[in-house]
Structure 1
Amino acid sequence: MTIFLPLLYLAAGWIAGQAPFDIKNVISKLLTKLIIPMVIIFNIATSFRSMGWIIIATALAMLTLLVVSKIFSRDPVMNLCFSYLNIGWLGLPVASALFGNQAAVIIIAAYVGSSIVGNSVGASMLSGKTLNPLKILKTPPVLALMIGILLIPFSDQVKHIGSELYQIAKFLMSFLGMAVLGIWLSKVNVGLDDFRQELKPFFQRVSVMALLITLLLLLAHATHQALITDNPATLYLLCLLPPAANIIVLETHYLGSGRSARPITCGTCISIVAIAVYAAVVIGGRMIVT
């Protein structure tokens, strides 16, 4: 039953999008500046040793996707839509529902890696400026990463004191993140041609990500990284994720436009269908095994 919860959260956002007032900016700020950093801090403080590999691997995978995307287009908005994936808001609730808490650790680590790249490289691409290390250090995911590292010596205390707060924050991250996506879906009109245009980059991204994840699993087996080798299904779920909703926030800020809304919306719809099929296969495989 829990697998359907992300879709219910999405539907709640779509309904909220019909209201005369707009709450997505407030929710986005709450997620970006408070809730998501809380989730990152807790997981880094309590599970950093197992997460470090995934943070680095995700950042490198995103940079690889960025390089590949430039083969097909020089448009920075489209480059970001190809390489910056919705790992936190869509990936986390789906992975948690399908695979449990261990999957959440993987997805959160992947979110940290992608956020660092997305909010630094992505911002510099759209602004036309060179990378500014000081600005990168001030982004919420990086600040949360540093706070979490400082709290590693107190991991037992963090786990004892913050477990309940973490569960609340993780739920709000899933619910509010999917709700924001639902609000965006309610605002953008798309046609069949738009979906056809997004199918090609979707399958291209799936192919590149599947190859990168396979290489990561081989490397993890060779170096005995149990968190990675024990959760291949969670890692391959990353292949199916759509462009990050945060792209339109960056685009609006730096370019004053919203061209990414259409590929984000179409990509999200395509991904939801693909993830539903993937979930059915995973659940069916479990039933056969048991």
Structure 2
Amino acid sequence: MKHIADKFKITNGKDFTLQEFETAYTAGCNKEDAAEILDELIKKTVAMQDELYAAKQYSLLIIFQAMDAAGKDSAIAHTMSGLNPQGCQVFSFKQPNAEEYEHDFLWRHYKALPENGRIGIHNRSHYENVLITKVHPELILKENLPGVNSLKSLGKEFWDYRYHSIREFEKHLHRNGTVIIKFFLHLSKEEQKQRFLKRIDDPKKNWKFSATDVEERQYWDDYMKAYEKAIKETATEENPWYVIPADKKWFTRIAISQIILHTIDELKLKYPVLPKAEKDKLQEMKMMLEKE
């Protein structure tokens, strides 16, 4: 399958608009071939994960952001299947708790970063602080920030500083060996509606549905503006965004897997080479074992 990452990659948000990206795009792929393609991509990723883990020079942080029902959970489950669980960690971020509100907005996300050699997956992320808080700015007041005591305090300057903080945070991580992949699963409003209806009609999926899902749907346009602005402000060459079509889950998973594989491949990882003294020691140990 031809590499498709560049079609979805945003490295400069200057002229970026979400309207340019189709939610049902499939790159000419067929659903019938999807399972086989995904399986092959995962096998290659598993091999490269072993090199990543052994080298311990880089870590990989994969961020998933999307509207409700866009398929974040299933995308993580399918694209990460087969990977060594010792080298992976998944964090799902909900509304901050009391302790987290007592720190700056990046604190809990910094705590959840993957160690060198490991893959970290953030289901929602530090971007919630310029997404849901942009749509519901009253949440910012819970942060008890100096000089921010009313919604009137949240002007353009406040949000510009917050985007700046995110860019600097990610730039720091990049300089220190954390490779960041940021996925926005781009779902259409109609497809979200159909998935909500399936959750209501299927008893096995009822648990996935919440009344707040429909309530938040009323802010769809506000969320699209927030996502577009966040991507425009934080897409860089070092830490790009990928706007992934999410109406067809089978293609979403293929696109995500291919981008992850391509990103790791570009690191040109190699297994560590032992110094001569250690190699000689290995031969000694081998001889001892063979004499038993």
TM-score w.r.t. the length of structure 1 is: 0.29
- More strand per residue: 2
- Larger Rg belongs to: 2
- More helix per residue: 1
- By relative contact order (CA 8 Å, sep 6+), the higher-ranking structure is 2
